[in-house]
Chain A
Amino acid sequence: MKNMKPFTRGLVLMLLGHLVGYGVGLGLDTLVSGRMNFTASIAGFFSLVVGVALFFHGLVGYRTITRGIVWQILGTLGGALFVTGIRALMGLKTFGPPFLFTEPAWVFGGLAGVICFLLGHGVVDDWIRMARGLDVPEHRADAPGWEKFYSPSLDHKVIGVQYTITALVLLVVGGTFALIFRTELAASGLQFLTTDFKLFSQNGLQFYNTLMSLHGMIMIVSILLGIAGLMNYLVPLLIGAHDMAFPRLNAFSFWIAPPAAVLLLSSLVLGGFDTGWTGYPPLSAKAPLGMQMFFLGVFVAGWSSILGALNLIATVLRMRAKGMTAFRLPIFVWAAIATSIISLTATQLIGLSFQMVMFQRLFGMGFFDPAKGGSPVLFQHLFWFYSHPAVYVFILPGLGVVSELLPVFVRKPLFGYKWIAMSSLAIALVGFLVWAHHMFTSGMNEYLRVPFMYSTLLVAIPTGVKFFSWVATIWKGKISTPMPSAFLFVVGAIVVFLMGGLSGPPNATVSTDLHLHDTYWIVGHFHDTLFGGFVFPFFAALYYWFPKATGRRLNETLGRWHFWLMTPAFFTLSLGMMRIGLLGMRRRIADYDPLQGFDPTHLVLTIAAFAIALSVLIFIINLVVSLKRGEPAEGNIWNSRSPEWQVASPMPAHNYDTPFEVVGEPYDYGLPGSKYVEFAKK
């Protein structure tokens, strides 16, 4: 065991943990239910958490993240036992199948688990010392090597990498879920997720619903972490700061996400839920226990988003280098600000709406229960007040990456810098006024429809500004061949996002949306916007800045394979979805009528989905291989004007050894003698 590589040791221990956890859970379940149920929820829960804990134990030993997860498990059980004890005293139900504990016990336990994770991991140690009036050093040296990525490092670059890796892990998890239910959809009729299928207190159909719902939310959390990774890593470098404004808050914002991910995943084993990612009551008020773990997980993950946004706004407002005025900021920073304005404020509303459903389930508070005078439509208002602007949270940083990289690769100034900067803000601000276009068919007051239709269509204007600028920037640019993978993904982002953008107005227009609502057309549309607005630019950013973070390039051949496999597969997927959507395929369902003739298209969609998964696998292999054996990247490999490329890669702990001053416009590529930044002499 000792001689193994940490990762192998982690995997071996994880398998062992799954087995041990399964055994413990099965035993407990047998104890309370009186019969052996090999697919019991509790067995799944213990198998999941013990496996994860032992995986990290193999990787880093019993410290930082491992201790956090162990404390989370103990905290969850302790909290659940505490509530169970109180219930016993009150003469209420205590233990019982199928989930061992009662719902209030699980909810309290889940929350206590998150707090225990933070205490066990050590990310709040400094704050506790401060509160007690003890001395806390301003800076803390990082653990050497890989260990720093599991510990509460205060370096924004380490935190950026932590975010990015977690985002990729969740991307794989969410993608795997999609592949499972996509396989079920490949033909009409039920193939393997049948009513005979039994797993974690769910039958095949329920399990389909759970996977479909979790695919949505896990991908959303993955995107939120992905953009947070980009913003954390890049923004301080781009504005010349030595770190974020609040390094401890920054570490906290990241480390609250892993326990949230554990909660989200535990909803899969604790009975699942069948509402889709939106969690609408009244269905969510009746769904199994998994619903509560889902709500709690999203609530906790929301704090990561809120606090990260707070930190970012403060950083940009307070930590800029000399001469970096508002209109000399890199365009990505404008996008990050626009995104953060939404995350900071609107996220509270999804948290509140989920909290209200949780209380409705726990205490019978009838906010959304018509029998008690409540209103399910109110939930949708509160929910979409965040969840529509949230899509701008997902795409604005990606569009910022496109605007940031395009001038580098076409060697021309960015067309209409101020317009682009303002368009990001405009999208964010208009985004606050459009939420009810998700509710045209919900039974809300009819007079609200037309105003929300127009405000939604208004978003097309600032988005159009961006496209206009990109096209004008590319126009007569000097594109070198072969195009680097980063550039391929930038172009891919523009084309895919254009498709997502064009398929938007039909959904914003009341008359057409009444027919398109809840069809695969919508599914195709938003996969387009999120691939164009996040996935493609995210990969572009990884190909572009990986050398900055590691000092090595990603492999270009594998990069091209990645791109040329993913792009056509994705076009097939989204266009196919839109096609059957227009023909009447309902979204979210496990089965469809063979007479509708969708079988061939669905089969193609499934194959396309597997092709996308394969391309992502190629990328991950590329990532792992290039980390050790990639071609060394020295100096300004992209010939960029941006400050971070004027110094060596990877960057030292506190970024720039000598401060720089901004002396010119950021994107004057191709203009002789122009300068953006000037470094002070040592």
Chain B
Amino acid sequence: MTHTQTKSSALTQGIIIFVFLAVLTALEFGIALLLNSLVLLTLVALVKAGLVMYYYMHIYKLNQDEHGEGHDSYAYKTGTNRLGLWLFLLSDAFVFGGLLVSRFNLLGMTRPHLNQTLGLAVTAVLLISSFFMNRAETSIAHGDRKGFLNGTLITMLLGLGFVVGVVGLEWQLAKIEEVIASKDVVGAIFYMMTGMHAFHVLTGVILLFTVWNKGRKGLYSAEKHWGVEAATVYWHFVDVVWIFFYPALYLIGTLAI
């Protein structure tokens, strides 16, 4: 977790966390099938979010002390930037929190009629994208530009795949199942939540593209790559949001009529 970590051990850690997340997602699905317990599903989501925030988003870095280096050093400024980014995420989290509150207030313990296979598939795509995002960041932190560019590119493509899966496929399939935005509140909530999230995924893809483009020009190094870190943390944040939205839309409660 510190600078002393070697590249291979950092990559291994990324893989282990990914396996954990995958197993927890499967567990989540199983809980929904067998027990349908709100408490357990919430717990699993919290554990998943905690893992991502600690091991992928490195929230502990907020606590790093760069005071020894003076206010004008790159390290200190990066620390300030990091704080600013996390404050922004905190603010943004209130939007998604508000959407979750609206969902439970309006739908209670019912959920829209959605395609479960597709839901699991897009969730997996986003999870895999987080894994590659982590690889990309780890690579640039150890000076491996090629690994970073490849990882970012794959993440971007997977992100676009997620948007296509949700907006291109799921929205069309949902329409067939009578989940329609203007029909009733079930449709309204579904399109609002997925739409807001997809909007964030798209902005994440744009951020990743600028980072990838700058990386191609050789503007990042092992020491100076705040831009990469920012895009990475934002990307994982969008993933954390989906960790809560997925069970809220697909798993919790019984089907709405």
Name the B residues within 8 Å of A366 (CB-CB): 182, 184-185, 188
A133-B213, A245-B80, A352-B98 known; A365-B192 Cβ under 8 A: yes
Task: Name the interface residues of A355-411: CB closer than 8 Å to any CB of B.
Answer: 356, 359-360, 363-367, 369, 372-375, 378, 381-382, 385
A335 within 8 A of B: no
Asked whether, in the complex, the Cβ of B91 is within 8 Å of the Cβ of A382, the reply is: no
A374 to B102 alpha-carbon distance, docked (Å) = 10
Asked whether, in the complex, the Cβ of B92 is within 8 Å of the Cβ of A367, the reply is: no
B198 within 8 A of A: no
A311 to B76 alpha-carbon distance, docked (Å) = 16
Name the B residues within 8 Å of A311 (CB-CB): 84
A378 to B103 alpha-carbon distance, docked (Å) = 10
Query: How many residues of chain A have a CB within 8 Å of chain B?
Result: 40
A306 within 8 A of B: yes
Cβ 8 A contact of B192, one of A356, A372, A385: A356
B105 within 8 A of A: yes
Task: Name the interface residues of A316-375: CB closer than 8 Å to any CB of B.
Answer: 317-319, 344-349, 351-353, 356, 359-360, 363-367, 369, 372-375
A364 to B188 alpha-carbon distance, docked (Å) = 8
A637 within 8 A of B: no
Asked whether, in the complex, the Cβ of B79 is within 8 Å of the Cβ of A318, the reply is: yes
Asked whether, in the complex, the Cβ of A349 is within 8 Å of the Cβ of B98, the reply is: yes
With both beta carbons as reference points, the residue of chain A lying nearest to B180 in the complex is identified as A364
A374 to B214 alpha-carbon distance, docked (Å) = 46
Name the A residues within 8 Å of B11 (CB-CB): none
Name the B residues within 8 Å of A4 (CB-CB): none
A249 to B88 alpha-carbon distance, docked (Å) = 12
A356-B102, A378-B106 known; A365-B181 Cβ under 8 A: yes
Cβ 8 A contact of A378, one of B80, B105, B187: B105
Q: A interface, by DSSP: helix, strand, loop or mixed? A: helix
Cβ 8 A contact of B188, one of A131, A349, A374: A374
Query: In the complex, how many angstroms separate the beta carbon of A365 from the nearest chain B beta carbon?
Result: 4
Interface readout for B176-190 with A: 1 if CB under 8 Å, 0 if not? 000001111111110
Interface readout for A116-136 with B: 1 if CB under 8 Å, 0 if not? 000000000000000111000
Query: How many residues of chain B have a CB within 8 Å of chain A?
Result: 36
Query: In the complex, how many angstroms separate the beta carbon of B225 from the nearest chain A beta carbon?
Result: 13
With both beta carbons as reference points, the residue of chain B lying nearest to A318 in the complex is identified as B80
Interface readout for A297-324 with B: 1 if CB under 8 Å, 0 if not? 0000000001000110110011100000
Cβ 8 A contact of B185, one of A249, A345, A359, A373: A373
Q: B interface, by DSSP: helix, strand, loop or mixed? A: helix
A148 to B88 alpha-carbon distance, docked (Å) = 28
B17 within 8 A of A: no
B162 within 8 A of A: no
Asked whether, in the complex, the Cβ of A131 is within 8 Å of the Cβ of B210, the reply is: yes
With both beta carbons as reference points, the residue of chain B lying nearest to A303 in the complex is identified as B91
* Most A CB within 10 A of own CB, among B71, B91, B183: B91
Which of B's residues lie within 8 Å of A, judged by CB? 71, 76, 79-81, 83-84, 87-88, 90-92, 94-95, 98-99, 101-102, 105-106, 181-189, 191-192, 210, 213-214, 217, 219
With A132-B213, A245-B84, A313-B83 given, name 18 new contacts (CB 8 A): A131-B210, A133-B217, A246-B84, A318-B71, A318-B80, A318-B83, A349-B98, A352-B99, A363-B182, A366-B184, A367-B185, A372-B184, A372-B188, A373-B185, A374-B106, A374-B188, A382-B98, A382-B102
- Between A and B, 29 residue pairs with Cβ closer than 8 Å are A132-B213, A133-B214, A133-B217, A245-B80, A246-B81, A306-B91, A314-B84, A318-B71, A344-B90, A344-B91, A345-B90, A345-B91, A345-B94, A349-B94, A356-B102, A356-B192, A360-B188, A364-B181, A365-B182, A365-B187, A365-B191, A366-B185, A372-B188, A373-B185, A374-B185, A375-B106, A378-B106, A381-B101, A382-B98
Ranked nearest first, the 6 interchain pairs of A and B with the lowest CB-CB distance are A364-B182, A365-B188, A373-B185, A348-B94, A133-B214, A131-B210
